[in-house]
Amino acid sequence: MTLSKAKIKWVQQLWQKKNRKQLGLLLAEGDKMVAELMDVWTCKALFYTDQYTGPKKAAETYLIEHAELCKISRLETPQHVLAVFEMPQYPWNPSALKGQLILALDGIQDAGNMGTIIRMADWFGISTILCSMDTVEVFNPKVVQATMGALARVQVHYVSLPTVLPQLDMPIYVTALDGDNLYQASLSNQGVIVMGNEGNGVSQAVKQVATASLLIPNFPVGRLTSESLNVGVAAAIVCSEFRRRQL
């Protein structure tokens, strides 16, 4: 099938945030990614080549040539399928978070970092992430791709962190260069781990509501080293230590 110019334009408009928000739709690509999301989200349209062997549970399906897929894909090397999904709607229920370990992202800007953190959260059994209003959009195609399907299991909410975090009535751990040694600090099996902006760290407003501050120490202490860790790497180290304490 040859896609019409109108259909190509319909997909391409979802490359822009304002259109995704207005239409309530998002893009996902890749066999594994689409298959995982199709199990939990409503697929509006599926565009696939004859090499795609995955599920086709979509309101509209289009068997197309690879050249047609390249016209609507955001990837440099498209795989075999692109799907348009309805944006999931998650109810905000703070009481349901009690007893959980959750993540909060304060001003994360890089789409790759965001996607990596969501994928990492899924690995460590963290199913809820709270984001400040200025954190990168979770349905940005680059974020969606970087999650490798983890968005099927991790719910992301955008909230005012300084307002919402104290209301959860749980320990709030921020990461900072002047914090307590992560490996020596007392850690709860429930609470909120806050990761800050790539350049500026956790905002002052969020630091003011924190109950503890944590530092990932370099080794050996005092050695001249890099100024800081990538936020995705740092988040994985902190979450790993929290989960290790629960073994």
Q: Are 202 and 234 in contact (CB under 8 A)?
A: no
Tell me the domains of the chain and their CATH numbers. 5-86 (3.30.1330.30), 94-244 (3.40.1280.10)
Render pLDDT for 9-45 as a digit per residue (tens, 0 to 9): 999 999 999 999 999 999 999 999 999 999 999 999 9
**pTM exceeding the 0.85 threshold for the entire prediction:** yes
Q: Are 156 and 115 in contact (CB under 8 A)?
A: no
Mean local confidence (pLDDT), 141-162 = 95
Render pLDDT for 123-134 as a digit per residue (tens, 0 to 9): 999 999 999 999
Q: Residues near 26 by Cβ (< 8 Å), separated by ≥ 6?
A: 14, 20, 84, 85, 87, 139, 141, 144
Residue 221 has pLDDT above 80, yes or no: no
Render pLDDT for 35-91 as a digit per residue (tens, 0 to 9): 999 999 999 999 999 999 999 999 999 999 999 999 999 988 998 999 999 999 999
Alpha carbon distance 101, 188 (integer Å): 9
- Residue 106 amino acid letter: D
- Confidence band, pLDDT 50/70/90 cuts, at residue 160: very high
Render pLDDT for 178-218 as a digit per residue (tens, 0 to 9): 899 999 999 999 999 999 999 899 999 999 999 999 999 98
Q: Which two tokens stand for residue 245?
A: 């304490």
Q: Which residue in the block uniquely carries the two structure tokens 């007893």?
A: 99
